[in-house]
Amino acid sequence: AQSVTQLGSHVSVSEGALVLLRCNYSSSVPPYLFWYVQYPNQGLQLLLKYTTGATLVKGINGFEAEFKKSETSFHLTKPSAHMSDAAEYFCAVSGPDSNYQLIWGAGTKLIIKP
């Protein structure tokens, strides 16, 4: 069965520093991969997704993620953190193993230090 692991329930970075949020998945075939962001008191919104093609995917607000099949990873990065990036980030995967239903990671709360 497919599963998604997000390393670290909380990640703290200084404003201006690199953001790296880790996501690993298990799947027998290359899946579809998603990152969603949830700002306080809001629903989730799509940050970026990988379906096919280029493995480096650019999303909104300067975020990007790279699909690495050999490492079964889809880590989210941003070169320079901004205070407005403080939110909870969710990685999700779908594919034939899950009948194309989304399997969610537990989420990582990103804290930005001034």
Residues that bind other proteins (CB under 8 A): 9, 32, 34, 36, 41-46, 49, 51, 90, 94, 99-102, 104-107
Minimal distance in Å, beta carbon 53 to other proteins?
11
Q: Which is nearer to other proteins, 73 or 108 (CB)?
A: 108
Residue type, 81: A
Q: Which two tokens stand for residue 111?
A: 């804290």
Q: Which is nearer to other proteins, 2 or 73 (CB)?
A: 2
Minimal distance in Å, beta carbon 17 to other proteins?
25
Q: Which is nearer to other proteins, 19 or 91 (CB)?
A: 91
Q: Which is nearer to other proteins, 62 or 107 (CB)?
A: 107
What residues contact residue 70 under an 8 Å CB cut-off, 6+ apart? none
Assign 102 to helix, strand or coil: coil
Minimal distance in Å, beta carbon 51 to other proteins?
4
Beta bridge partners of 48: 35
Minimal distance in Å, beta carbon 72 to other proteins?
18
Task: Give every strand in the sheet of 3-7, ordered side by side.
Answer: 3-7, 19-26, 73-78, 64-68, 56-58
- Looking at the chain, how many residues does it have? 114
